[in-house]
Protein backbone atom coordinates (compact mmCIF):
# COMPACT_ATOMS: atom_id res chain seq x y z
CA UNK A 1 0.00 0.00 0.00
CA UNK A 2 1.32 3.38 -0.94
CA UNK A 3 0.85 6.08 1.65
CA UNK A 4 -1.84 8.66 0.98
CA UNK A 5 -0.43 11.99 -0.16
CA UNK A 6 -0.27 14.59 2.54
CA UNK A 7 -3.24 16.97 2.39
CA UNK A 8 -2.22 20.32 0.95
CA UNK A 9 -2.55 23.26 3.27
CA UNK A 10 -5.76 24.81 2.01
CA UNK A 11 -6.32 27.59 4.43
CA UNK A 12 -4.25 30.48 3.19
CA UNK A 13 -6.45 33.17 4.72
CA UNK A 14 -4.68 35.08 7.40
CA UNK A 15 -6.40 36.91 10.21
CA UNK A 16 -5.19 40.21 8.76
CA UNK A 17 -6.83 39.50 5.40
CA UNK A 18 -10.10 38.62 7.03
CA UNK A 19 -10.04 41.83 8.99
CA UNK A 20 -9.29 43.83 5.87
CA UNK A 21 -12.23 42.22 4.04
CA UNK A 22 -14.52 42.99 6.93
CA UNK A 23 -13.56 46.64 6.96
CA UNK A 24 -13.78 47.28 3.24
CA UNK A 25 -17.32 47.14 1.86
CA UNK A 26 -17.37 46.69 -1.91
CA UNK A 27 -18.60 49.49 -4.15
CA UNK A 28 -21.78 47.51 -4.73
CA UNK A 29 -22.32 47.20 -0.98
CA UNK A 30 -21.75 50.94 -0.52
CA UNK A 31 -24.31 51.64 -3.23
CA UNK A 32 -26.89 49.32 -1.65
CA UNK A 33 -26.18 50.77 1.78
CA UNK A 34 -26.83 54.31 0.55
CA UNK A 35 -30.08 53.22 -1.10
CA UNK A 36 -31.17 51.52 2.14
CA UNK A 37 -30.50 54.71 4.11
CA UNK A 38 -32.66 56.56 1.56
CA UNK A 39 -35.50 54.06 1.36
CA UNK A 40 -38.36 55.23 -0.92
CA UNK A 41 -36.40 58.32 -1.98
CA UNK A 42 -35.25 59.00 -5.53
CA UNK A 43 -31.44 59.17 -5.67
CA UNK A 44 -29.53 60.29 -8.75
CA UNK A 45 -26.91 58.01 -10.35
CA UNK A 46 -24.35 60.81 -9.97
CA UNK A 47 -24.77 60.80 -6.19
CA UNK A 48 -24.17 57.03 -6.10
CA UNK A 49 -21.15 57.40 -8.38
CA UNK A 50 -19.57 60.09 -6.17
CA UNK A 51 -20.24 58.08 -3.05
CA UNK A 52 -19.09 54.63 -4.15
CA UNK A 53 -16.54 55.45 -6.83
CA UNK A 54 -18.41 53.21 -9.29
CA UNK A 55 -18.00 54.05 -12.96
CA UNK A 56 -21.02 52.16 -14.18
CA UNK A 57 -23.82 52.74 -11.68
CA UNK A 58 -26.63 51.47 -13.97
CA UNK A 59 -24.84 48.13 -14.33
CA UNK A 60 -24.51 47.75 -10.56
CA UNK A 61 -28.17 48.68 -10.13
CA UNK A 62 -29.07 46.00 -12.70
CA UNK A 63 -27.03 43.44 -10.75
CA UNK A 64 -28.73 44.39 -7.49
CA UNK A 65 -32.14 44.09 -9.17
CA UNK A 66 -31.18 40.66 -10.48
CA UNK A 67 -30.25 39.66 -6.94
CA UNK A 68 -33.81 40.50 -5.95
CA UNK A 69 -33.49 44.02 -4.53
CA UNK A 70 -36.57 46.09 -5.32
CA UNK A 71 -35.08 49.12 -7.05
CA UNK A 72 -37.15 51.35 -9.33
CA UNK A 73 -35.33 53.04 -12.20
CA UNK A 74 -36.38 56.24 -13.90
CA UNK A 75 -35.31 57.28 -17.41
CA UNK A 76 -33.71 60.49 -16.10
CA UNK A 77 -31.08 58.71 -14.02
CA UNK A 78 -32.88 58.48 -10.68
CA UNK A 79 -33.20 55.19 -8.77
CA UNK A 80 -35.11 54.28 -5.62
CA UNK A 81 -35.07 51.29 -3.30
CA UNK A 82 -38.65 50.47 -2.32
CA UNK A 83 -38.15 47.68 0.22
CA UNK A 84 -35.53 46.66 2.77
CA UNK A 85 -36.52 43.06 2.19
CA UNK A 86 -34.68 41.34 -0.63
CA UNK A 87 -37.01 39.53 -3.04
CA UNK A 88 -36.35 36.38 -5.01
CA UNK A 89 -33.35 36.60 -7.34
CA UNK A 90 -34.17 36.61 -11.07
CA UNK A 91 -32.39 33.33 -11.77
CA UNK A 92 -34.20 31.59 -8.92
CA UNK A 93 -37.69 32.44 -10.12
CA UNK A 94 -39.64 29.34 -10.96
CA UNK A 95 -39.38 28.61 -14.65
CA UNK A 96 -42.50 27.95 -16.69
CA UNK A 97 -42.44 24.34 -17.78
CA UNK A 98 -42.97 23.05 -21.32
CA UNK A 99 -46.41 21.60 -20.62
CA UNK A 100 -47.72 24.93 -19.29
CA UNK A 101 -46.10 26.82 -22.18
CA UNK A 102 -47.93 24.59 -24.64
CA UNK A 103 -51.21 25.10 -22.78
CA UNK A 104 -50.78 28.88 -22.98
CA UNK A 105 -49.88 28.82 -26.71
CA UNK A 106 -52.82 26.60 -27.55
CA UNK A 107 -55.28 28.65 -25.44
CA UNK A 108 -54.08 31.77 -27.34
CA UNK A 109 -54.42 29.92 -30.70
CA UNK A 110 -50.64 30.26 -31.28
CA UNK A 111 -50.96 34.01 -31.83
CA UNK A 112 -49.42 37.01 -30.10
CA UNK A 113 -52.08 38.40 -27.79
CA UNK A 114 -50.96 41.96 -28.49
CA UNK A 115 -50.53 42.14 -32.29
CA UNK A 116 -52.24 38.91 -33.38
CA UNK A 117 -49.31 37.62 -35.44
CA UNK A 118 -48.29 33.95 -35.49
CA UNK A 119 -45.23 31.90 -36.51
CA UNK A 120 -46.60 31.99 -40.09
CA UNK A 121 -45.99 35.75 -40.04
CA UNK A 122 -42.36 35.13 -39.17
CA UNK A 123 -42.48 36.04 -35.48
CA UNK A 124 -41.15 34.03 -32.57
CA UNK A 125 -43.70 33.47 -29.82
CA UNK A 126 -42.92 33.61 -26.10
CA UNK A 127 -44.90 32.90 -22.97
CA UNK A 128 -44.79 35.90 -20.70
CA UNK A 129 -46.43 37.16 -17.51
CA UNK A 130 -49.50 39.34 -18.10
CA UNK A 131 -48.93 40.96 -14.72
CA UNK A 132 -45.13 41.11 -14.33
CA UNK A 133 -43.66 39.29 -11.34
CA UNK A 134 -42.38 42.65 -10.04
CA UNK A 135 -45.97 43.92 -9.92
CA UNK A 136 -47.13 40.91 -7.96
CA UNK A 137 -47.93 38.57 -10.88
CA UNK A 138 -47.73 34.79 -10.48
CA UNK A 139 -46.86 31.79 -12.68
CA UNK A 140 -50.51 30.73 -12.72
CA UNK A 141 -51.74 29.95 -16.24
CA UNK A 142 -54.32 32.73 -15.94
CA UNK A 143 -51.41 35.18 -15.62
CA UNK A 144 -49.52 33.86 -18.64
CA UNK A 145 -49.92 35.16 -22.18
CA UNK A 146 -48.47 34.54 -25.61
CA UNK A 147 -46.42 37.45 -26.94
CA UNK A 148 -44.20 37.76 -30.01
CA UNK A 149 -40.57 38.87 -29.61
CA UNK A 150 -41.31 42.41 -30.74
CA UNK A 151 -44.28 42.97 -28.44
CA UNK A 152 -42.37 41.31 -25.60
CA UNK A 153 -39.46 43.73 -26.02
CA UNK A 154 -41.82 46.70 -26.12
CA UNK A 155 -43.53 45.46 -23.00
CA UNK A 156 -40.26 44.91 -21.09
CA UNK A 157 -38.98 48.39 -21.98
CA UNK A 158 -42.15 49.95 -20.59
CA UNK A 159 -42.32 47.71 -17.53
CA UNK A 160 -38.71 48.58 -16.62
CA UNK A 161 -39.35 52.30 -17.07
CA UNK A 162 -42.23 52.60 -14.60
CA UNK A 163 -41.92 52.40 -10.81
CA UNK A 164 -43.07 48.93 -9.78
CA UNK A 165 -44.49 50.39 -6.55
CA UNK A 166 -47.03 52.59 -8.38
CA UNK A 167 -47.86 49.70 -10.70
CA UNK A 168 -48.54 47.39 -7.74
CA UNK A 169 -50.95 49.99 -6.40
CA UNK A 170 -52.68 50.28 -9.77
CA UNK A 171 -52.98 46.50 -10.03
CA UNK A 172 -54.60 46.36 -6.58
CA UNK A 173 -57.77 47.97 -7.96
CA UNK A 174 -60.52 45.39 -8.24
CA UNK A 175 -62.07 46.18 -11.63
CA UNK A 176 -60.60 46.57 -15.11
CA UNK A 177 -62.16 50.04 -15.36
CA UNK A 178 -60.60 51.21 -12.06
CA UNK A 179 -57.17 49.86 -13.03
CA UNK A 180 -57.20 51.55 -16.44
CA UNK A 181 -58.33 54.85 -14.93
CA UNK A 182 -55.60 54.62 -12.27
CA UNK A 183 -53.03 53.95 -15.01
CA UNK A 184 -53.94 57.14 -16.90
CA UNK A 185 -54.11 59.16 -13.66
CA UNK A 186 -50.61 57.95 -12.77
CA UNK A 187 -49.13 58.72 -16.19
CA UNK A 188 -50.95 61.75 -17.62
CA UNK A 189 -49.75 63.67 -20.69
CA UNK A 190 -47.74 60.81 -22.12
CA UNK A 191 -48.28 58.01 -24.62
CA UNK A 192 -49.38 54.73 -23.08
CA UNK A 193 -49.03 51.73 -25.42
CA UNK A 194 -52.22 49.68 -25.89
CA UNK A 195 -50.26 46.65 -24.70
CA UNK A 196 -49.84 48.27 -21.29
CA UNK A 197 -53.55 48.95 -21.05
CA UNK A 198 -54.11 45.29 -21.92
CA UNK A 199 -51.67 44.20 -19.21
CA UNK A 200 -53.35 46.39 -16.63
CA UNK A 201 -56.66 44.82 -17.75
CA UNK A 202 -55.12 41.44 -16.93
CA UNK A 203 -55.95 40.07 -20.34
CA UNK A 204 -59.54 41.30 -20.43
CA UNK A 205 -60.59 41.62 -24.06
CA UNK A 206 -62.97 44.28 -22.88
CA UNK A 207 -60.48 47.03 -22.22
CA UNK A 208 -61.55 49.26 -25.12
CA UNK A 209 -65.11 49.22 -23.82
CA UNK A 210 -63.83 49.97 -20.30
CA UNK A 211 -61.87 52.91 -21.72
CA UNK A 212 -65.00 54.26 -23.43
CA UNK A 213 -66.91 53.98 -20.15
CA UNK A 214 -64.17 55.92 -18.31
CA UNK A 215 -64.34 58.69 -20.91
CA UNK A 216 -68.13 58.86 -20.68
CA UNK A 217 -68.23 58.77 -16.89
CA UNK A 218 -65.38 61.18 -16.12
CA UNK A 219 -65.14 63.31 -19.28
CA UNK A 220 -61.37 62.70 -19.23
CA UNK A 221 -59.67 63.42 -22.54
CA UNK A 222 -58.09 60.04 -23.24
CA UNK A 223 -57.39 59.98 -26.97
CA UNK A 224 -55.80 57.47 -29.35
CA UNK A 225 -52.29 58.46 -30.44
CA UNK A 226 -51.59 59.09 -34.10
CA UNK A 227 -50.53 55.63 -35.23
CA UNK A 228 -53.21 54.10 -32.98
CA UNK A 229 -50.72 51.99 -31.01
CA UNK A 230 -51.75 53.54 -27.74
CA UNK A 231 -53.59 56.29 -25.88
CA UNK A 232 -52.76 59.64 -24.33
CA UNK A 233 -54.55 61.31 -21.44
CA UNK A 234 -54.51 65.07 -21.92
CA UNK A 235 -54.65 66.43 -18.40
CA UNK A 236 -55.03 70.19 -18.08
CA UNK A 237 -52.31 71.71 -15.92
CA UNK A 238 -53.62 72.94 -12.56
CA UNK A 239 -53.17 76.71 -12.30
ZN1 LIG B 1 -46.87 40.80 -31.11
Phi-psi region of 228 (alpha: psi -120 to 50; beta: other; left: phi over 0): left
Closest CA to 141 of 112, 114, 171, 107: 107
Neighbours of ion ligand 1 (CB under 5 A): 112, 114-115, 148, 151
The architecture in CATH of the region 164-234 reads: Orthogonal Bundle (1.10)
pLDDT tens string 77-115: 899 998 888 877 766 667 788 999 999 999 999 999 888
C-beta separation of 100 from 61 below 8 A = no
pLDDT digits (tens, 9 = 90+) for 34-66: 999 999 899 999 999 998 888 888 889 988 988
Predicted confidence at residue 175, as pLDDT, reads: 92
Residue 20 scores a pLDDT above 50: no
Identify the band that residue 238 occupies on the pLDDT scale cut at 50, 70 and 90: low
Give the Å distance between the CA of 49 and the centre of ligand 1: 38
Give the pLDDT score at 239. Answer: 61
114 C-alpha vs ligand 1 centroid, how far in Å?
A: 5
Task: Tell me whether domains 25-83 and 164-234 share a fold.
Answer: yes
Rounded distance from Cα 182 to ligand 1 centre (Å): 25
Sequence-separated (6 or more) residues with CB below 8 Å from residue 172: none
CATH number of the 25-83 domain: 1.10.10
pLDDT over 70, % of the chain: 87
| Rounded distance from Cα 186 to ligand 1 centre (Å) | 25
pLDDT band, residue 1 (cuts 50/70/90): very low
Domain boundaries, the chain: 25-83, 95-159, 164-234
3-state secondary structure of 214: helix
pLDDT at position 93, please?
66
Amino acid sequence: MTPAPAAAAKNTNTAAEGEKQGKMPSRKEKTLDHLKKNLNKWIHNQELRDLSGLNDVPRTVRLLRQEGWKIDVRGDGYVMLTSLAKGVARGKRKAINEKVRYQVFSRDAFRCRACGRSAKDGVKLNVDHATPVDWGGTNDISNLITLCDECNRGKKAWVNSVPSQSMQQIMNNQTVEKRIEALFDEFPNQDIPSLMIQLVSKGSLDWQRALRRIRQRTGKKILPIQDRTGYHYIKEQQV
